[in-house]
């Protein structure tokens, strides 16, 4: 039986050295990163899935940031309406007191002065802004929604009746605002109109009970409108829970796709070192070039 020797060993030997060093390099990179996929060539299918995973995780992060700002806006708006409810509740008490027939005109005038203060405060609350945008101006967020004429004591709405929407998560939208005219000048109960009428009634001494009813209607209407903010805050809380869970799931998926088995990688690294050393030693003996191969090592 004849044995044939390769007359040109150098290319094969160099290829073996390159392969063994590449195996050692891959294991080193996996140990350092803790990942089995560090570049596209490591696992093209997993790499493509990781790109989609990262994109979704980035979208979740953006949604969470947006939700945080939206939540603050809703909380500020609801807080303003809570103060409006307090003002209307106080106005009801003052109106009931002012309807007492034993009061003098001077007494009613003093009560009217407090109602005027409540009206001023309510207009200020209706002009509440958050981060430079008016909350109750419809979509005209750069326009102060309400102005109070000190001569006629009438309140004018300068916003619009439009609403906008915000995306809470992929494909899930929510209304972003309640227009100021719907909140403060609603036909079912006008906050500013009721307070103005109560003030005028106290000054004149006429029709006070009727204006107290107006205030009660306005109070009922505001309480109904506040339900929007309560529901919206609940939706935000649910969306935050969903997005946080989705991020957790994506993190687990990424670990499943690209996480390295460090025990196995450490074994591969040790084996690669042994194989690389063995290849260098064998090459040195075959070629008789120990000094040159030591430099290669």
Q: Give 67's contacts (C-beta < 8 A, 6+ positions apart).
A: 168, 236, 239, 240, 243
| Token pair of 249 as six digits | 């799931």
First to last CA, the chain: 37
The answer to whether residue 244 is domain-embedded is yes
Which has the closest alpha carbon to 240: 149, 145, 169? 169
Residue 24 lies in a domain: no
Q: What is the phi/psi pair of residue 140, to 5°?
A: -90, 65
pTM: 0.69
Phi then psi dihedrals of residue 100, to 5 deg: -65, 120
Tell me if 29 is assigned to some domain.
no
22 within some domain: no
Q: What is the CATH number of the domain that holds 59?
A: 1.20.1330.10
Decide if 69 is inside a domain: yes
Q: Which of 55, 30, 54, 32 is nearest to 42 (CA)?
A: 30
Rounded Cα–Cα distance for residues 230 and 21 (Å): 63
Residue 294 lies in a domain: no
For 171, other C-beta atoms within 10 Å of its C-beta total 6
Residue 173's DSSP bridge partners are 167
What is the full per-residue pLDDT of the chain (297 aa) written as tens digits? 555 545 555 566 566 666 655 555 665 665 555 555 555 455 566 556 656 766 766 776 787 787 888 899 999 999 999 999 999 999 999 999 999 988 999 999 999 999 999 999 999 999 999 999 999 999 999 999 999 999 999 999 999 999 999 888 888 888 999 999 999 999 999 999 999 999 999 999 999 999 999 999 999 999 999 999 999 999 988 888 887 887 777 667 666 555 554 455 556 556 666 666 666 666 666 655 555 445 555
Q: Answer whether residue 241 is part of any domain.
A: yes
Residue range(s) defining the domain that contains residue 238: 54-252
CB atoms within 10 A of CB 244: 12
Domain count, the chain: 1
Q: How many CB atoms within 10 Å of residue 7? A: 5
Taking alpha carbons only, the member of 157, 202, 199 closest to residue 179 is 157
């Amino acid at each position: 039986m004849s044995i044939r020797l390769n007359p040109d060993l150098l290319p094969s030997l160099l290829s073996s050295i390159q392969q063994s060093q590449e195996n050692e390099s891959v294991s080193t990179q996996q140990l350092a990163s803790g990942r089995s996929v560090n570049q596209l060539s490591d696992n093209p299918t997993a790499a493509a899935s990781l790109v989609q995973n990262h994109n979704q995780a980035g979208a979740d992060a953006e949604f969470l940031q947006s939700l945080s700002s939206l939540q603050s806006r809703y909380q500020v708006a609801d807080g303003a309406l809570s103060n409006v409810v307090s003002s209307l509740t106080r106005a009801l008490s003052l109106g009931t007191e002012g309807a007492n027939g034993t009061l003098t005109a001077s007494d009613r005038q003093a009560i009217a002065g407090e109602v005027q203060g409540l009206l001023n405060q309510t207009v200020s609350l209706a002009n509440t802004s958050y981060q430079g945008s008016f909350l109750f101006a419809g979509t005209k967020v750069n326009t102060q929604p309400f102005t109070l004429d000190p001569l006629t004591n009438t309140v004018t709405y300068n916003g619009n009746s439009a609403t906008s929407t915000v995306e809470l998560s992929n494909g899930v939208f929510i209304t972003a605002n309640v227009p100021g005219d719907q909140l403060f000048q609603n036909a079912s109960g006008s906050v500013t109109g009721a307070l103005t009428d109560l003030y005028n009634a106290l000054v004149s001494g006429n029709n006070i009970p009727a204006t107290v009813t107006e205030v009660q209607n306005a109070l009922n209407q505001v309480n109904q409108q506040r339900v929007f903010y309560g529901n919206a805050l609940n939706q935000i809380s649910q969306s935050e829970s969903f997005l946080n869970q989705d991020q957790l799931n994506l993190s687990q998926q990424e670990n499943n796709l690209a996480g390295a088995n460090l025990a196995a990688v450490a074994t591969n690294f040790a084996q690669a070192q042994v194989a690389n050393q063995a290849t260098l030693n064998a090459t040195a003996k075959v070629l008789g070039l120990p000094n040159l191969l030591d430099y290669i090592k």
